[in-house]
Chain A
């Protein structure tokens, strides 16, 4: 089986599982007391947000190793991860306002965390634009790696500024020093959803990687 095909199947499995998670979220997970059914979007919004950031970190890690080994596979992976990260950032930026409208009463609040996802989105777009602007393949890979590493280094600063800036967002409820302050059933649903997003990430990256490789072969031929 080719990589592209494996990617197709992984993505398909991910999408089916996502349907399953939503059945569990809607039917078997309690409704949040204050936010009502609107909170259900949490199971889509937060895993996508976590993967938006993780994808950037993976772009950065692949870039660091690339500058040492100069292995084109790492560059191809970074490119794929950045593009999938862009899609996940778009999911966060679409689901965020929908949730915000019901809970905060406004589509867009210049809230720090929403804003920082927007900037992460622009960071991804910049990364992809840079790749498009450099003609020479060797230089493209090096420049992209430099930007990818800087992007990874920026993520903690974005996070830090979130804590310092006034925010409407709830403080983190899953990744925090003490135990998660989420009821067991919601936490399990969230973890399942996170696992599904991981499958989706892997599936998308596999397909994009295969596409990148095919394009390079096409260029060479």
Chain B
């Protein structure tokens, strides 16, 4: 009766694999190119991908619960549009921020409620959400709207000096705060643990008396909020709002989460893995830009190959688990 076989390391294996992958790609770049292994290159990884880190954190919640959210890229675009249009109309910056975050969270809430109440696949519902948000952008303006607000531009260009002459933007601070918050919520709160429970076995979670309905809707609210926040960061990064911003970014976010070791079936994964996943994607991009002659589409090709490998590995893990379960029974 005392089977004391703690196999915690096995659960961390996918995340470790991603971290190792990051170290290898970064190490390869450092050996190949002068100036690659500098603090600023690392800082730039965070600066250029702050919005993706926030998106991936939200997406981690959704995928852990066994769902998927395809709307995040469009919500980012809508957020940039609302930000730019709001500022152009002379709204104060805090009002713009509140409006954007509210819109994103509400869209998430709506999708979550539809998914839960009508028991429709998240894929379809969030696909509808994706078209809706993208369409709303063009309702505001079909043109790109640049942001000229002084306060906003000041925040966008402000840098924080770190020791060693490395600079980062406020975007990075916000992104890292989001990751910390996600870590806390996922691992220290009942809501977070219920997300894992629902992803592991929804029926069991329900029979255990856990609030599965609230949790399932909640993850989409979180993802919507994160998308809106990422949209704000993207506005700071691009200083414009445009309906064709962030096309396909939902796929980058999903790729980062999966490469970060989160099981697409739900129930297993870590938000730090998603962070590592974003960094791997960023490093590949940096590598290709350092190389200079390769087209940037090579980034997509490498990401595609990586995704395939990671999903194959996950598949193997699930099979292994099933076999284990079969032997145990």
A pairs with B: no
**Which A residues lie at the B interface, using CB under 8 A?**
none
**Which B residues lie at the A interface, using CB under 8 A?**
none
